Every structure is written in structure tokens, then in C-alpha cells.
Structure 1
């Protein structure tokens, strides 16, 4: 039987995240299921499908709030290899964050608003997003990330030019600190529908996610991988720095005008 990718990857990443945040050793979890350590790691890596009974045991051990949502993912998509998985249950943002934490490589492409990890709190509130609360033991992220952003995203002024100016200052600081941010020239728009597309390389293999309002869609396969690679090949650090500086200068100039309600470029709010 083929495994229902990407269900196995999502469930496995959430289980690993919950175990580590509760500081439960892998052997303790394996003993709770009466299985060997390699079998437990296979569940967490998404290379083996967990049974509903084993899922209940582990979520109970970890005191995880995601038991019901993960069960629904299993029930709805059992055996459907390559299906699109829509997670619209409460806590979907937390589960997406767990997948991102488990990834050793993330390639995030955005055409409308800035990716969540790049947002300032004020920008996040303006676009209707909220930071994901992370409880329990802190977990070091080992993955590397690339953020590919359409240039038109940083040209949108929003209702407050000052808000966007501060956001752009933050992006420049992140870039100077080593964050891999790429700005795709507006003359070459990113080849995807409006929104985010996130490529997550999990231990069990890659999957793709498209966060949306109130849900996250997961894909086991995607034709966007080659498009992301091609887009990255057309970007460079020098252009990114210049684009950020130009956009920041424009928004700071607008922020200095009376009323701080001037709109930049398109006049659109920084949201979908």
C-alpha cells in the first residue's frame, strides 16, 4: 500500500515537535507504543504511517492539543497517495510551524504579502496574521530557508507608510544578518497564483504547503519546484539590496508627509 503523502510527513512532524517540546525521550515514546526506536523515528520522519491507536497513545503522552485534527487527516486521506490535504482545523498554523521546524530546507515564494517569518508584529496585524505561540521547551531550528518575494510586495504602501517603512528596515536588517532574502524583479513576476507557496524538505521527503486564510493546503507533489528554482536563478543579492533600499526610501518619504496616510505605488493594502 502506498503511503498517503503528505499526510505522513505532516503528522510525523507534529508528533516530533510535540515530543521535543514536552522533553520526552524517543525511547520513552517508543516504549509507550511497545515498538523499537527505529520504528518510532520512521513515524516521525513520515516514512511510516501511524495507526489511529498509536496516534492516540502518543498525543496523550505529549498532552498534545492536536489529537483530533491529526486523526482527521489520517481518516480523510488514508491511502490517497499524492492527494491535496486541507488542514482547516483549529491549530493549523501551529501544525504548519511544526512542519517548518522539522524541515532541513525551506523555500518560501510569495506574490502578495511577506512570508510570516519576515514580518514585523505590526505588519502581521495589518495583514491579519498572528505569530504562532510556541510553548514548552525551546527547539533549535536546524533548517536553512530561502525567501523569494515578488518586488511588487515591497512596493505596496498600505494604509500606513510608516508601518511599511519599518517593515522594510527590518528586512534590510535581516538581510544584513544573513537571512537569505531574494527580491524577484517586478518585470519578471513569480510564476504562481497569488499567495504563498512553501517547499518543505522534511526527513521523509519534500512536500509543498500553501497557507491561506483559515487553512493550510499540503501537496505531496508540485510542479512549482522547478519554477522556484528558475526564479531563484534570476535573482541576486545586489538587486535585492537595491530594491529594498529604493522601497524603504519611498515609504520613509511618504511617512514624513502630513497625516501618514499616503499610499505608495499601487495604493493597495499589504494583504491579499
Structure 2
């Protein structure tokens, strides 16, 4: 996927024409998506927005496509024209723009994960609703440090095992930020088989199950157990639906994790059919998942197996 950027030239700073790495591409793509959708919702032509914002059509195009350098005052005027004059919606936009410029907390973990992983973490932190389907391991947001360390040690190549500590540090910081204060409502779908691989001592697996149960009992977090054999063929490690809200409109994005690469799908003309196909697949999986109470009972029964 081609990288996009929203670069700003300010009096005191100059952001790059292209992002320093892949971290920012997803954030810039969402900014561009929302600006375009908002303009279409208002039934405005791009030239009308540009004129009202006192900028050229080519400059506005750079905002809407997420490419090139734009002065921050110009972006502010565009947001005004589109109805984002103040409040949380404008704040969300500006935070995404900051992330798109590669200035977020994830830049300090450049050595701990590839760009597509860091890019996803950035996208995840901006969502107000998250639904994730994991088929092989415990979802990352639910992992204990010991489990995360064991998973990293088992999946890293021999020359990368030394990075396990930094990877765990990144995952724990991701969790801390996600669960601190106001957060997205989150639903996690996975089979009980994620606890079966012998990646560590039984006490570690038991502690991991207990941790999942504890998180599932907190407000805004739901865990649903799915059958070991799904009605659809999945070739991805994980797939997540993220939902963002600006004004009265919700915007969705689907992220697929193939293990060594990540892919985004948005309900735009270019990827609409792929997005709709994956969303339908996820809805089918959700429809066969155990209800919440039954899922908790299944987890408690699994915990007793590891305690015996």
C-alpha cells in the first residue's frame, strides 16, 4: 500500500513530504477519508471547499488525498468550512494529523515492531469501537507480560530473540494507553484453542486465562468464544473492525494481519468490495460465537483444567 502523508509547514516546524516510515500512513489515510466523506455528505465540490477556505484547489487536493505539504492554518480553515470548528471532532482530526506526521508515542518503539504493526496501534488508539477476531493466539490487548514474552520468543527468528523485551514493552504500553481513561468499546472473538499451545508452564496459561476473565468483567470489554471450526476459511492471523466517529457520522476501517504484513480496507470505491466481503465474513463469525455469559463459563472451565 502506498504511503500517504499530511505534511505541515509551520513557522517553527517543517514536517516531511513523506512520512519517515510506515507508522503514519494509516492515520493520514483516515484524515483524507474523513475529509472526503464530509465534503460529499455536505454535497460540496472540492473547488467550493477550497474557495471557502481561501486556498487553491491543488492545495485542498493534497489534504483530501493525504499527500504533500500544507500549512496548518490552511488545514484549520478547511476544518472550519467542513463544520469542525471546535469540540472533540476537531481534536480527533488534529491528533490524527499529528500522528500522520510521525510525531506520536510510537516513534520511540521504531526498533520493536515493523511499521505496519505500529501503524495499526496508532489507528486502534483513535477508534471508539473495536471488534477483533483472533484465531491463533490470545488477542494482544488481553495478553499478560509473561504470555506476550513467551509468544514473542516462539515467533521471533533466532537472531531476533533479544528484542523480545522491547516487544513486550511496546505491547504493554499499547495496553496501558488503550485501557486508561476513556477508551473504545472492545469485543474480542477467539477460540479456546488459543490456550492450548504449550508455549510455557501451565501456571502461565492459567494466569493468562484468569487475566482475560478479569478484563471481560470490566465495563466496555466483551469476550466471545468462537467455534474451533469456523463456517468460513480464514487465512489471516487476525482481523479487526475499527469504527471512528466524527459529528453524526461513523467511519469504519478493517485491518487484516497476515503475520508478516498488514492490510487496510475502507468503504471507498477503490476497496469497497473487499471491505464489504470481509465485514460480511466477520459478521458471520460473530453470529456463531457463544453469548457473553456462556463464553465466561467456558473460560472458567478452561481455567479449572489448567489448575488441576
Q: TM-score range by the shorter chain?
A: 0.5 to 0.7
Are residues 14 and 247 of structure 1, via their aligned partners in 2, closer, same or farther at CA, if it must alter by over 3 Å? farther
Secondary structure, counterpart of 2:138 in structure 1: coil
Are residues 39 and 124 of structure 1, via their aligned partners in 2, closer, same or farther at CA, if it must alter by over 3 Å? farther
Q: Which runs of 5+ in 1 are unaligned?
A: 16-28, 70-88, 254-272
Number of the residue aligned with 1:210: 256
Separation in structure 1 between the aligned mates of residue 186 and residue 277 of structure 2, nearest angstrom: 20
Number of the residue aligned with 1:169: 210
1:144 offset after TM fit, Å? 1.3
Please tell me whether residue 223 in structure 1 is matched to residue 277 in structure 2: yes
Instruction: Report 1 or 2 for greater relative contact order, CA contacts < 8 Å, sequence distance ≥ 6.
Output: 1
Count of residue correspondences: 203
1:223 offset after TM fit, Å? 1.5
Does the 8 Å contact 1:157/1:251 carry over to 2? no
Separation in structure 2 between the aligned mates of residue 63 and residue 196 of structure 1, nearest angstrom: 24
| TM-score, normalised with respect to structure 1 | 0.59
Number of the residue aligned with 2:241: 199
Q: Which runs of 5+ in 2 are unaligned?
A: 5-23, 33-70, 153-166, 267-274
The superposition leaves residues 93-112 of structure 1 with CA deviations (integer Å, 9 ceiling, x where unpaired) of 33211211111211100110
Separation in structure 1 between the aligned mates of residue 130 and residue 142 of structure 2, nearest angstrom: 13
Which deviates more from structure 2 when the two are superposed, residues 98-107 or residues 184-193?
Answer: 184-193
The superposition leaves residues 148-205 of structure 1 with CA deviations (integer Å, 9 ceiling, x where unpaired) of 1122213334332121111001011112223200011335566522411111123472
Are residues 172 and 33 of structure 1, via their aligned partners in 2, closer, same or farther at CA, if it must alter by over 3 Å? closer
Please tell me whether residue 121 in structure 1 is matched to residue 142 in structure 2: no
Number of the residue aligned with 2:116: 92
User: Which residue of 180, 193, 196 maps to 1:155?
Assistant: 196
| TM-score, normalised with respect to structure 2 | 0.53
Does the 8 Å contact 2:147/2:205 carry over to 1? yes
The superposition leaves residues 43-62 of structure 1 with CA deviations (integer Å, 9 ceiling, x where unpaired) of 9989xxx9xxxx89x738x5
Number of the residue aligned with 2:15: none
Q: Which has the higher helix share?
A: 2
The superposition leaves residues 26-48 of structure 1 with CA deviations (integer Å, 9 ceiling, x where unpaired) of xxx842757443469699989xx
Q: RMSD over aligned Cα, in angstroms? A: 4.0
Secondary structure, counterpart of 2:199 in structure 1: coil
Separation in structure 1 between the aligned mates of residue 123 and residue 217 of structure 2, nearest angstrom: 27
